[in-house]
A = this chain, B = another copy of it.
Amino acid sequence: MSNTNKTALVVSAHSADFVWRCGGAIASHVKQGWHVKVVCLSFGERGESAKLWKLPDMTLEKVKAARRDEAQRAADILGADVEFWDIGDYPMRVSDDTLFRMVDLYQTLQPEFVLSHSVKDPYNFDHPLAMHLAQEARVTAQAAGHNLEQKVLGAPPVYAFEPHQTEQCEWTPNTFLDITDVWDLKRQAIECMAGQEHLWAYYTRVAQQRGVQAKRNIGITTKRNIEYAEGYMKLTPTVVDTL
């Protein structure tokens, strides 16, 4: 599917997070020829499926199946390769086995960058835990003595994508990604999330607001049009040749 050999990794706590929060980044990089791997740690089956639980005769397995189906369709639309690790949610717990599985994935995939949740979120403790896993696995994958037969990882930058209430999460975007030309795909992927229809308009407006802000940060007099954008908080410095 890709015509470059570049890859990216997304660590999503629940199965819809990657759509709302970085669906544009996925679609945009896939369009640029990248291979994007998404790991859904859980289906959000307990914490983010309220609408499904109102249906008659619902069980945990049925909720998971419905959520998996939605997420798979969204991933297909965006062009991502998705895995479901089913480690549970609300509360999420990360075992060392899960950590080492993520380390292996890093070393196999050798991603150019990683996307995950904000480091803090007082409304949702699964989110920072997913980010911690993404970070700790990354550092472990850099260790020469961890897997002798594997290639050690370089230093892919980690970006925190946008949480629901940014200011309460001490999340400040330092990077805006223009997603104008893949917005239609992101919106289609969003519409796969039948169980959370109340969020469709919300995250559409998020993309519009970030678009306006991105435009302001390059100068409103520039010719370039930005209608939709996604905000990211890069956690470590960027190395450049030109400022």
Taking Cβ atoms with an 8 Å cutoff, the residues of A that contact B are 8, 25, 28-29, 32, 45-47, 49-50, 53-54, 60, 63, 89-91, 93, 96, 99, 113, 115, 122-125, 135-136, 139-140, 142-146, 148, 152-157, 159, 164-168, 171-178, 201-202, 205-206, 208-209, 212-214, 216-222, 226, 229, 231-232, 234-243
Contacts and interface: CB of A to CB of B under 8 A. Distances in A.
Those 3 A-B pairs whose CB atoms lie nearest each other, nearest first: A154-B219, A46-B145, A155-B219
A193 to B, nearest CB: 15
A238 B174 contact: yes
Contacts of A49: 144-145
A96 B156 CA distance: 34
Copies held by the complex: 6
A235 to B, nearest CB: 6
Contact of A209 (B96, B143, B175, B209): B209
Contacts of A32: 242
A63 B144 CA distance: 11
